[in-house]
Structure 1
């Protein structure tokens, strides 16, 4: 009788250990998938930042060649460029906040 209890106990311990091992593997797989998704989101965000940086560079190069000859015309071009830069930065912030909210 005592030997039978030990065998039952031994088999239930092994089954419990197997179940725990399976749970750990599943948990690890889930965490790895989450990490991959976050890495992909970060990669997308980095690409968007590079795109925004290129847009700002293009805008600043456009600003170096003003079309207007009068001082007021130059000021208007400058304020338009500043407004566009603010718009681009704001759009970048919105993209960034959307991405970080997903993470």
Structure 2
């Protein structure tokens, strides 16, 4: 029994056990604690759907879901002339705003 007690005392005197185990407990326990807080955040957040009739009252027109597609937007981009452009240097804060 004395040998087991001595071995156990030596085991708990190691720095990795003395400082590492409490650190790991805090990290893992903190992770579970933060999980609960973030769950409360999303549980009580105000989530509501935007209805098109409410948006029309505010002056916003929504497009129908099938009206905008990736292909239609690509066709609009193909119509733009993106190869002919001019580089314009922006004004620096210490310079006067004089346009050339």
Q: What TM-score comes out, normalization by structure 2 length?
A: 0.35
Q: Which structure has the bigger radius of gyration?
A: 2
Q: Which has the higher helix share?
A: 1
Q: Which has the higher contact order (CA 8 A, sep 6+)?
A: 1
